[in-house]
Amino acid sequence: MKTRLILLLFAPYFLHAQNTSIKGQIKSSTGEPLSFISISLKSTNKATFSDSTGRFEIKGVTKGDYILIASSIGYQTIEKPIKVSGTSLFEELTMKSTDTELQEVVVTQERQSRMQETKPIAIKSIEIKNVITQNVLLTDVIDRVSGVRIRRSSSLGDRSDISINGLRGEAIRVYIDGIPMELLYPNFDISTLPIGNVKRLDIYKGVLPVDVGTDALGGGINIITEQKSHNNLRASYNVGSFNTHLADINLGLTNKQNYFLNLSAAYNQSDNDYTMKALVYETNKIEKVRRFHDKFQFFYGGITAGVHSKPWADELRLTVNYSKGYKELQNGARISHIPYGEVEYHAENVAATLKYDKSFLNEKVIFRTIGNFSEQVLNYVDTTANVYSWSGKVVGRNTPGEYTAEQLTDNYSRSIINRSSLIINLAAKHKLLASNLYAKQRLTGIDYLEKEIDKDYLRIPQSLIKNISGIQYEGLYLSHLTLSAAIKRFDYVLNGAENNTFELVRKKDGFWGWNLGLKYDISDKLFARASYEKGFLIPQFFQFVGNGADILRNTNLMPESSNNLNAGLSYLDKSDRLFTFSGTLNGFYRRQNDIIFLGSNLTRIYENADQVKTLGAEGEATIRYNKAFSLSTNLTFMRKTFSKLKDPKNQYLLGAAFPNNPNFFGNVELAWQKNNFGIKNGLFRAYAFYNYVAPFNHILIGKDNNIKTTPDSFVPVQHRVDVGCSYKFPKQNLTASINVLNVLNADLYDNFLVPRAGTNFNVKIIYELTKF
């Protein structure tokens, strides 16, 4: 009894003796103490920050083996194995600045990007911080990837048409942290998103993992944002031709209890008044004119609050944002003889996103869920009876309505989305992933010109519900072979209405898809991989019911399906030698059924085509020399043709090229960088970039037609040259860059032969502060 009493009295002492603390100090490579460095024990909730003298302490650590992690922006992350045996430890750490990295070479991507690019499925991963000085828009970054083309006019705010290995338009989905962008921001484009708030871009060429993809047919782009775990301030301002201004600011605040607050805002505007050739009504001649009704404005503001590294949550964050945009329309899908002088739309969006992550059983089980609610209103105005010339003058009067018919409408869109995923690490190098996405979008509106409410089509509530679930397995066999396999279920319910008869339409369907990926490591630098997917594309809501502006409804649309095959080789040299080479070579095959495309008539609706086949190859290579010079190039060749047609009248198209689809294009970039240029740790970089696009038909043509027999049916060859340079001032936390686009003032074109801008420039200033 006495023994038990003694043990009880001294229990707190024995319990305390089983715990210890880890102390230490962090210095730079030059011996200076580093403050506010994030310190944590991997796979635990133990974390802290270094103080003004660089010292830190983690209390209450039990015996065992751990990995001590030290990280901060501007420095290389340290992961050091330690052993806690019951006595206090003192660890002295030295962190290497990424400025020193730049002395060695900052031309490699981050570890996470490399991991993505070596998976069994084809992925191109880009760290935004490596390209932010050279590119103004996210679309500029993506457009330089092999196998990818993004076409839009030079008008900031115009919708982007994305093509990946022959699949384009809505067959390619854009996601923000795995949530479909078309549901988050129905009428905003990827080109309008602030580039400074993005950490990484993952571009999937074929198969998408179940925790990212939805009903994308054969490719997608996932935009990964980041919440930093330390105080940070970042601001940038860009000014360019055509009165273009882009500005963004991001402020992140944290405390030692791992709570964080993030404030962000962005503003974009452009007059888009570049010159082009068009038929002037007064002279009846093709003249060089300046676009006059094409302004764009966009504002975004957001606030994020949350916490990380808690026993009950690895991360919990709530984001609320507001965005507002305005766009004048100068022309439709094509440059017609008569421009638009007064058509415009305004869009306003409010959204809230809640994200929660939690791991269990020492990270053997990971649960992630993200939910979003958004509301948007789109106001469309097309009421004038004035007729404009490309000179900018009013040359006559007609019935009201420049685009199709007189319109004054409000369209209201409301979306609810949730994606939940569960990752189970079955054993070393084997894991199971299950994911489900539920999305519901509801649309109503008001036609202010329709006096009789019962005849107002827009007032009829319409909705589209999607549920897409999947299970995926990934495992490593014999240390060389990686297998990835998944099965997906697609379900949707459309409650719509026919826009002529007002008859209610209900469509419901479900189907199964699957994919398989294999990767074989030939050596530590060379691997081969192949993947196949049977994919489905559920038409987007605005494809079914229109967008309330320039696209009309078609509730008879059918889902599109595709058989996708990818195979290729990849060589990656990670060494620090004087001369290094990395490259990939891929072949791809696509067979699309009931392909969905936007018609090219003046009045546009989405339509189903018959069967289209794509066969192509792509390759990219990067050569680096002496830690300063780099030469990167990529080429893509494909042939996309009609392979099956139901209508006998269309048999002349069998074997003909699918319209508005580039068949051969490539890029070359030569870059040079030097550290300690001018001042210590000052980094200078210069580049020259060349883009080539071969001629391609922008309208339907017969199999035997070509650019010689029907030149007006083709977009001519395009040669684009850009040059630029940037300089990083390390002490001032500033980076400045200047880029000159289309230096040779070449004729460049968008979809359906819409001219792009001639020579233009932009200047960008970036300010970053991370230690305060």
Q: Which pLDDT score, from 0 to 100, does residue 115 have?
A: 75
3-class secondary structure, 395: strand
Asked if the model's pLDDT at residue 346 lies above 90, the reply is yes
> Region 355-374: what's the mean pLDDT?
92
Asked if the model's pLDDT at residue 673 lies above 70, the reply is yes
Asked if the model's pLDDT at residue 104 lies above 50, the reply is no
Count CB neighbours of 506 within 10 A.
Answer: 10
CATH number of 17-96: 2.60.40.10
**Hey, what are 504's tokens?**
């209610």
> Region 239-258: what's the mean pLDDT?
92
The overall average pLDDT reported for the chain is: 86
Q: Which pLDDT score, from 0 to 100, does residue 227 have?
A: 66
Q: Which pLDDT score, from 0 to 100, does residue 600 have?
A: 55
Count CB neighbours of 660 within 10 A.
Answer: 24
Q: Which pLDDT score, from 0 to 100, does residue 440 have?
A: 95
What proportion of the chain, given as a percentage, has pLDDT over 90?
48
Q: Which pLDDT score, from 0 to 100, does residue 614 have?
A: 93
Better-scored residue on pLDDT, 377 or 139: 377
> Region 624-648: what's the mean pLDDT?
90
Q: Which pLDDT score, from 0 to 100, does residue 123 have?
A: 86
Contact 749, 725 (CB under 8 A): no
Q: Band of the pLDDT at 602, cuts 50, 70, 90?
A: low
Closest CA to 170 of 129, 220, 213, 212: 220
Q: Which pLDDT score, from 0 to 100, does residue 103 have?
A: 36
In the numeric block, the tokens 């359906």 are attached to 752
Break the chain into its structural domains and give their ranges.
17-96, 225-769
* CA triple 211-215-219, angle to 5 deg: 80
DSSP 731-764: TTTEEEEEEEESTT----B-GGG-B---SEEEEE
| CA 34 – CA 23 distance, rounded (Å) | 15
> Region 542-559: what's the mean pLDDT?
73
Q: Which pLDDT score, from 0 to 100, does residue 327 have?
A: 95
Q: Which pLDDT score, from 0 to 100, does residue 11 have?
A: 41
Q: Band of the pLDDT at 4, cuts 50, 70, 90?
A: very low
> Region 356-372: what's the mean pLDDT?
92
Q: Model confidence over 512-545: pLDDT tens digits?
A: 999 999 999 999 889 999 999 998 888 877 788 7
Pairing of strands 89-95, 19-28: parallel
- Sign of CA pseudo-dihedral 27, 30, 35, 39: negative
Q: Band of the pLDDT at 16, cuts 50, 70, 90?
A: very low
* Residue 645: partners with Cβ closer than 8 Å, 6 or more residues away: 610, 611, 651, 653, 654
Q: Band of the pLDDT at 9, cuts 50, 70, 90?
A: very low
> Region 239-266: what's the mean pLDDT?
93
Asked if the model's pLDDT at residue 5 lies above 70, the reply is no
Asked if the model's pLDDT at residue 102 lies above 50, the reply is no
> Region 370-388: what's the mean pLDDT?
96
Q: Which pLDDT score, from 0 to 100, does residue 106 have?
A: 36
Closest CA to 502 of 549, 537, 452: 452
DSSP 217-257: SS-EEEEEE---SS-EEEEEEEEETTTEEEEEEEEEEE-TT
**Hey, what are 662's tokens?**
């580039």
Asked if the model's pLDDT at residue 14 lies above 50, the reply is no
Asked if the model's pLDDT at residue 718 lies above 70, the reply is yes
Better-scored residue on pLDDT, 108 or 320: 320
| CA 484 – CA 467 distance, rounded (Å) | 23
* Residue 267: partners with Cβ closer than 8 Å, 6 or more residues away: 245, 246, 247, 248, 297, 298, 299, 300
Q: Which pLDDT score, from 0 to 100, does residue 771 have?
A: 64
3-class secondary structure, 82: strand
Q: Which pLDDT score, from 0 to 100, does residue 271 have?
A: 96
**pTM for the model:** 0.80
CATH superfamily of 225-769: TonB-dependent receptor, beta-barrel domain (2.40.170.20)
Q: Model confidence over 143-171: pLDDT tens digits?
A: 888 888 887 777 888 888 888 888 877 77
Asked if the model's pLDDT at residue 404 lies above 80, the reply is no
Pairing of strands 579-593, 173-176: unpaired
**Hey, what are 483's tokens?**
């297998």
In the numeric block, the tokens 């839009």 are attached to 152
Contact 323, 299 (CB under 8 A): yes
First to last CA, the chain: 58
Better-scored residue on pLDDT, 500 or 8: 500
Asked if the model's pLDDT at residue 101 lies above 60, the reply is no
Q: Which pLDDT score, from 0 to 100, does residue 413 have?
A: 93
Q: Which pLDDT score, from 0 to 100, does residue 418 have?
A: 96
Q: Band of the pLDDT at 12, cuts 50, 70, 90?
A: very low
| CA 163 – CA 172 distance, rounded (Å) | 7
Q: Band of the pLDDT at 320, cuts 50, 70, 90?
A: very high
Better-scored residue on pLDDT, 673 or 32: 673
E strand or H helix that includes residue 3: helix 2-17
Closest CA to 192 of 297, 347, 343: 297
In the numeric block, the tokens 């300010």 are attached to 767
